[in-house]
Structure 1
């Protein structure tokens, strides 16, 4: 297994607040896809197999400044997607907020993952349509099951093979936030808030669990990955 990563350097055309940044990156990616050979893929329902993180570095006042450059990372299991999108991102010159001026591609081979950390909120929707939070739900076993099931479906869908699962890929899950975190977007003139959480996860060591942990790094943990939800950092042993 391997995933593909784009380090994108963006030039700010005007000031952009942190709370609007995920929406603007998501729109930039979506528009770039729609104007490229990825247009049909963009329109399809189902998993997109990519995730992105926010702009770095984060300014102290959480306002990205006009004239400065910031980087964000985009990952996918699909190399064709990454290669095509890299060109499309740089061609999207009419965006009013920022311009991607450089993309650098990296290939990350599967490695043994000892810990996962969520850099952006991990979003999970419960059966009643609400977002999972400790305050609203508090059922950790349900949370772990939904996180596992979502990853298993992503893996099966992309690789066209069914994993022989014997246990949840999560050995230990620690919630790192006291109150729910959020990602804010506007869609069809309606303001939407996705609530999520920041986690530290220790995956199990078996082969299947490690494949799912790597899938989480590659295309995001939980839901709303195309809005920046569930972008992870991993720690482990690289061969």
Structure 2
């Protein structure tokens, strides 16, 4: 197993608040994908895992305002090298965006390694089952922790199967230890049809189990994100 990572250097064209970063990056990536027929078709399929994830800008700004004229970087990962290679070119060709411009990309190939700890750098979004007519709810600390763990594992198992075409048969949940890193939910905002949508999530430290399947799932979490809504910036992970 291995994943591929693009380190993208950007120039900011106007001041951007932190809360708007994921919406802006998501739309930049989506527009870039729309310029390739295969990637456009992939993005349009609602029930197909996109097999990529991305993080926010680095370095962080203390006042949470990214400054016009300054350069920052963000990372984008995928299990699919062909996807990464296409996007490397398409991101740099997207020159008319009013908010930013990707001016340089560099690719890393990361082979599977033993993961001791995962840290979620962006909120992990987990939606709960709802009855017909109910508004969508997201997992919070008021909900069952086992629901969260099971949904995180099931999501990773489906991502693995979607890319590799095979089922993994775990004998236990891949999470050995689990620590909440926030006291109140974190949010990802995006706009759709001129309406602001707010996704509620949380940040975690996760210690995966040491068995082969648990380590594969932890690696998929790094490559494709953990939880849901990766195309909006959800569940981007760091490791130790």
Describe how 1:169-184 pairs up with structure 2 within 5 A: 169-184=174-189
Correspondence list, 1:8-157, <5 A? 8-37=8-37, 38-45=39-46, 46-128=48-130, 129-135=136-142, 137=143, 139-157=144-162
Q: Write the mapping of 1:157-172 to structure 2, written as runs, cut at 5 A.
A: 157-172=162-177
Alpha-carbon shift at residue 28 of structure 1 (Å): 0.2
Question: Structure 1, unaligned stretches of length 5 or more?
Answer: none
Q: CA deviation at 1:158?
A: 0.8
Q: How high is the TM-score relative to the length of structure 2? A: 0.95
Give per-residue Cα distances to partners, 1:108-148, cap 9 Å, x unaligned.
0000001000000000001133000103x2x1111100000
| Matched residue SS, 2:153 | helix
**Aligned pair 1:212/2:217, yes or no?**
yes
Q: What are the superposed Cα offsets for residues 197-221 of structure 1, whole Å, 9 maximum, x if unpaired?
A: 0000000100000000000000000
Distance 1:124 1:62 in 2: 25
- For residues 208 and 58 of structure 1, the distance between their equivalents in structure 2, rounded to whole angstroms, comes to 34
The normalised TM-score by structure 1 is 0.96
Identify unmatched segments of 5+ residues in structure 2: 131-135
Q: What do you get for the CA RMSD once the two structures are aligned?
A: 0.8
Moved runs in structure 1, 4+ residues, more than 4 A?
none
Q: Does 1:187 align with 2:189?
A: no
Once residues 193 and 22 of structure 2 are traced to their aligned partners in structure 1, the CA distance between those partners, rounded to angstroms, is 16
- Return the offset for 1:164: 1.9
Alignment partner for residue 231 of structure 2, among 202, 209, 226?
A: 226
2:5 is aligned to 5
